[in-house]
Structure 1
Amino acid sequence: MFTTTGSRGMYKAPLSKSLLLVPTALTVLLTLLLPQYQSLFEYNLQAVKEEYQIWRLLSGRIICLDLKDTFCSGLLIYNFRIFERRFGSRKFASFLLGTWALGAAVDILLAEALHFLFEMQVEMLPAGLLSPVFALFVPFFCSIPRVPVTQLLGQISVTNKSLVYIVGLQLLTSSSFMWVIALSGLVSGVLYHCNVLWMQRLLQVPAWLGRVGALLLEPLLEGSEPTQEAPVGMGATLDVQRQQRMDLLDQQLLLSQLAQVRRNAQQPQAGLLNWGWLFPTLRQRGRNATPAVAVAQARRPGPSPPPENSPVAEEQVARLMEMGFSRVDAQEALRASNNDINMATNFLLQH
């Protein structure tokens, strides 16, 4: 099933793991052991403009000087690791580098605009790698599907993205001028995500640097590959364990059939993906499954899947269309996944 961040830990996310470990260790070192050196890592815009200390645009935007900001930004980076697994470490690093560079320019422009319009003097901004963290909310809002989970008091809808927004709001309210950093990050994220003035080409990590980083980071920080039989919680009942194993078995079966179809394809088809040609084999996965899988599916509790010609819910089609998929692809994906919007979204995003 598709979730916001998956459950594979830091697998295939070495850059995210390094962003969690290195800045956190440096923050603890400066806060507890070397507080006399904190002034070197302050994000002082006044010193940049008047004393021409340009190096503060580098040192003041790497390490957080507040443990609470470090904790909240670490939680957000851990949730946003899905983008590194989806796009690759080099493209993820290019996004962070581009928004980090754009954020410095936007910070100065916002400070000058506040001084000119409202006579508000912005001398010190929160330090740390905060602008790229807020910039990651742009692809998070645009590409991660919003799946309702429950409702509070019968009116407030709680989705799979609510916790991430709550942590971002907590980080936003941690200091008085954090909203300047947040606005700068969102603006830089929109500019880079929309590729304004070809920024994705201009502000990207060189290929040679990506190869060097892969040789250095991956052996040290690459997470272990998750096992197929993942352990379940101690409080889980037998039914929950069986449900988790069956979900994993269904997903592996669907992905293996999709890989087999791709290997048998002779020529790629132009235009839209031919879901009608791809998914009939997926609909028949219960017939073509191995005997062990068929027996397990027969024992699995729950209602029987709808027939192939069952209508799809227009609400689910509209939700997939809001994510940017065409109506035809959304309908075919929902029919193939038996109207399971999580599974349909997974196939549309990954394949």
Structure 2
Amino acid sequence: MFTTTGSRGMYKAPLSKSLLLVPTALTVLLMLLQPQYQSLFEYNLQAVREDHQIWRLVYGRLIWLDLKDTFCSGLLIYNFRVLERRFGSRKFASFLLGTWIVCAAMDLLLAETLHFLFELQVEMLPAGLLGPVFALFVPFFCSIPRVPVTQLLGQISITNKSLVYIMGLQLLTSSYFMWVVALSGLLSGVLYRSNLLWMQRLLLVPAWLSRVGSLLLEPLLSGSEPTQEAPMGMGATLDIQRQQRMDMLDQQMLLSQLAQVRRNAQPPQAGLLNWNRFFPTLRQRGRNAAPAPAAAAPQARRPGPSPPPENTPVTEEQVARLMEMGFSRVDAQEALRASNNDINMATNFLLQH
């Protein structure tokens, strides 16, 4: 219901999977088996300033020391995997590395500012990968389109991004000084995204390191491509279940037609996919009371040119949203026409193909 891309699991998101497994496993191991070493991983700013323990800027920002922070951060990283599919693993890793470095300077700067203006002494901050997690809200807000899902009490609009913001709010209220880390992460995300002082170029993961990680880690951490429809949630209503099932059937029909076009070895058409050769969507079939696909199959095999596409109107606002994600105008228009102006389905097709 709240997914942004439609594909489930960790498909094409090996870095997100590693961020879920490795720090979480180290957190559980440290808290349950070796609790006497927790003090080494505390994010103690006072020790950094007075005792010059610079290493705490690294150790204190690697492992979570609170199970609530671990759970909320894990859910957010799982939802932010769409950004890795959108940008690629190397660019996604560069964003995490850049914001992780900038957050260290931001934490110290904010702590000194609070002490100078309000005489508020910030001695210790929550530990873990919290700064980059909050920084990921910036590209998530700017790059992922907002698609309404349902209405709550007839007035409050629930979108595909509502659950992510609720989890961020829960993480923000988990400890007293979490708002300092959140502000530091958000500022770091804005600075990196705006490419201030050429951060995106200076803090870019080297190509050789990206290739080594792809060769060594991707076969172990890459998720399999989803092939079957996941079971519906227990709390989903009948309308939402029907909506999800129809979306999945639409997608399977379009993919089967794409495979048939490739098998026939026909010359490629303009744009990303030749959406006009596909069957109409299931919603349009239901409204027009068209015959079943089995009856329409012989007609699709008749020789001669394909029938002209329907002049489905496409709103410029939806086209602009898809273009902001990096797709061309032609591909965005074709995807919207093929999906009957369903921007969620159009985003699925463009991201997966």
TM-score by length of 2: 0.80
Aligned letter for 2:182?
Answer: A
The 10-residue stretch of structure 1 (21-30 or 150-159) with the greater mean CA deviation from structure 2: 21-30
| 1:282 corresponding residue in structure 2 | 275
Partner Cα separation in structure 2 for residue 241 and residue 137 of structure 1? 26
Give the Å deviation of 1:58.
0.4
Partner Cα separation in structure 1 for residue 169 and residue 233 of structure 2? 33
Contact 1:2 1:343 (C-alpha < 8 Å) held by counterparts:
no
Give the Å deviation of 1:251.
3.7
Structure 2 CA distance for partners of 1:310 and 1:279, relative to 1, 3 Å: farther
| 1:337 corresponding residue in structure 2 | 339
- Which residues in structure 2 correspond to 1:125-140 (within 5 Å)? 125-140=125-140
Aligned letter for 1:337?
Answer: S
Deviation readout 1:65-103 (Å, 9 max, x if unpaired):
100000000001111111222322222111111110010
| 1:294 corresponding residue in structure 2 | 293
Partner Cα separation in structure 2 for residue 324 and residue 134 of structure 1? 23
| 2:179 corresponding residue in structure 1 | 179
Aligned letter for 1:246?
Answer: L
Partner Cα separation in structure 2 for residue 325 and residue 11 of structure 1? 21
Aligned letter for 1:135?
Answer: A
SS in 2 for 1:151: strand
Give the Å deviation of 1:33.
1.9
Partner Cα separation in structure 1 for residue 315 and residue 58 of structure 2? 51
Unaligned runs of 5+ in 1: 266-274, 288-292, 299-306
| 2:24 corresponding residue in structure 1 | 24
Give the Å deviation of 1:142.
0.8
Give the Å deviation of 1:14.
1.9
TM-score by length of 1: 0.80
Partner Cα separation in structure 2 for residue 241 and residue 150 of structure 1? 13
| 2:252 corresponding residue in structure 1 | 249
Structure 2 CA distance for partners of 1:172 and 1:47, relative to 1, 3 Å: same
| 2:223 corresponding residue in structure 1 | 223
Deviation readout 1:100-142 (Å, 9 max, x if unpaired):
0010011111111111111111110000011000111111101
- Which residues in structure 2 correspond to 1:43-122 (within 5 Å)? 43-122=43-122
Unaligned runs of 5+ in 2: 281-291, 298-308
SS in 1 for 2:151: strand
SS in 1 for 2:217: helix
Give the Å deviation of 1:26.
1.4
What is the count of residue pairs matched by the alignment? 328
The 10-residue stretch of structure 1 (242-251 or 16-25) with the greater mean CA deviation from structure 2: 242-251
Structure 2 CA distance for partners of 1:194 and 1:314, relative to 1, 3 Å: closer
Q: CA RMSD in A?
A: 3.6
Identity %: 75
Structure 2 CA distance for partners of 1:99 and 1:331, relative to 1, 3 Å: same
Structure 2 CA distance for partners of 1:322 and 1:214, relative to 1, 3 Å: closer
Deviation readout 1:186-215 (Å, 9 max, x if unpaired):
111111122222111111211222222223
Structure 2 CA distance for partners of 1:258 and 1:31, relative to 1, 3 Å: farther
Give the Å deviation of 1:256.
4.9
SS in 2 for 1:339: coil
| 1:39 corresponding residue in structure 2 | 39
Partner Cα separation in structure 2 for residue 152 and residue 231 of structure 1? 25
| 2:157 corresponding residue in structure 1 | 157
